[in-house]
Amino acid sequence: MGTESTYVLTNDEVMTLLNTPAQKQPDLSIVIPAFHEEKRIGQTLEELEVFLDHDEFFMVKDVEVVVVVADSPDKTNEIVTAKQGLFQHFVFLKPGPEVGKGRDVQYGMLRASGKLAVFMDADLATPLHHVQQFYEACAEGNDVVIGTRNLLTYRSNVFRGLFASFGNLLYRIAGGMWIEDTQCGFKMFTERARKLCFSKLTILGWGFDIELLAIAQANGLKIKTFRIDDYKNMPFSTHTEGVLTIAVRTVRDFGQITLNRLRGAYVNNRQG
């Protein structure tokens, strides 16, 4: 069902995804990157189906579910295929070789067709009831709504918590904004904000979140944050990189975002 793409999205691929017509525009698209997620993607999709079918707010909404799986060495593809019948509107995307979470989220969000679109982690660390909170915030006129966490309390490893806080400080400087936590995998966009931010995304790994926010700010989009006090640390983490590797990538991404801001690469110069 998915569409194969090259290693990294080209400009032509970005435009193709942006211009893919939908038979009927859903009220909401839910995008889930699911590389190497065989241990939990099945349960996640089952929980999502129950939520959408029984929640009074969403049971009357037209919701599209988009799952993005890069070439995964486990059984994630088979599990997703088996669960796709749970949803009336389901899109299964296979963007090719693993590049990074940013590429997979970008691919899914550009292919999404909803009036609003949210991307969330496959572990449901942010409980599903927050979707309505974010949806209503967008309806009130916000362009981008993001979840934040207390970085020093949600981390089981104190050192990683301190490092994450320092990394976010650097990203705040690079992005030109002060946000408590940029890396929470739960962000919602209006259609215009989604297309603008993800079409200009250049960081395809760990730092893609702050670049999205930098793009949004550069274009004067209205950003609202919500503290996720019931965020849950989930088992079977798919993050296998060491702290040193993440540190090097943080510095690299910091420089890339700063350079892009200085040369005006994030500003949308097209009308409309």
Residue pLDDT, tens place only, 118-154? 999 999 999 999 999 999 999 999 999 999 987 666 5
Pairing of strands 223-227, 144-148: parallel
Name the class of domain 11-262. Answer: alpha beta
Mean pLDDT is lowest, of 95-99, 166-170, 183-187, for 166-170
Q: State how far the Cα of 119 lies from the Cα of 50, in Å rounded to an integer.
A: 18
Residue pLDDT, tens place only, 212-248? 999 999 999 999 999 999 998 776 555 555 667 766 7
Contacts for 175 with CB less than 8 Å, ≥ 6 apart:
182, 210, 211, 213, 214, 217, 257, 261
What count of other Cβ atoms lies within 10 Å of the Cβ of residue 49?
16
With vertex at residue 26, the alpha carbon angle to CA 109 and CA 35, rounded to the nearest 5 degrees, is 35
Domain range annotation of the chain: 11-262
Q: Among 184, 177, 198, which Cα is nearest to 258's?
A: 177
pTM, rounded to two decimals: 0.86
> Residue 197's pLDDT band (boundaries 50, 70, 90)?
very high
**What is the model's pLDDT at position 255?**
87
Cβ(135)–Cβ(63) below 8 Å: no
